[in-house]
Amino acid sequence: MLTIDQATYDAIVAHAKRDHPDEACGIVAGPEGSDRPERFIEMINAAGSPTFYEFDSTDLLQLYKEMDANDEEPVIVYHSHTATEAYPSRTDIGLAMEPNAHYVLVSTREHGNDAGPVEFRSFRIVDGNVTEEEINIVPTLS
């Protein structure tokens, strides 16, 4: 199960809506082994594409050095699908390289940049196996 606070949930949704029709992506870091998504980090989609996302390689190194220095790890890796459902694609599964992370997918296909509900789902992706999990949205992380 993914436990996420409302503000972080809202920030992910806002980022996905803002970048629509391109895919938005980012990370929520937290202390290593804590499973607490505490630090929301929006990343630039270097692919700038409605069908693909990739962190810029320089940004990626910077991010991991920062997390390393803080004893953090990526607790959530999120991205949006802008024309398809919020479910990992074959490419998403093949490229999922963080076995400890919650992979959050948001689909903006319904309302695009406009207000309105989005699909927001969370998955574990380990060795090509996808497992959907429940999401518990809390006012603040306890």
Partner 1 sequence: MAIEVKIPTILRTYTAGEKAVSAEGKTLSALIDDLEANHSGIKERLIDNGDLRRFVNVYINDEDVRFIGGLDAELKDGDQVVVLPAVAGGC
The answer to whether 1 and 136 are in contact (CB under 8 A) is: yes
Rule CB under 8 A: say whether 30 interacts with partner 1: no
Rule CB under 8 A: say whether 27 interacts with partner 1: yes
Q: How far is the CB of 29 from partner 1 (least distance, A)?
A: 12
Phi first, then psi: what are they for 42, rounded to 5°?
-75, 135
Instruction: Give the closest residue to 37 by CA, choosing from 62, 69, 12.
Output: 12
CA distance 46 to 32: 27
Rule CB under 8 A: say whether 84 interacts with partner 1: yes
Decide whether 97 or 115 has the Cβ nearer to partner 1.
97
Q: Which residue shows structure tokens 């992506």?
A: 25
Residue 124, SS3 per DSSP: strand
The region of 9-17, 33-41, 78-86, 112-120 touching partner 1 under the rule CB under 8 A is 78-86
Contact residues toward partner 1 (CB under 8 A) are 23, 25, 27, 43, 47, 49, 51-55, 57-58, 60-61, 64, 73-74, 77, 79, 81-84, 88-89, 91-92, 95-100
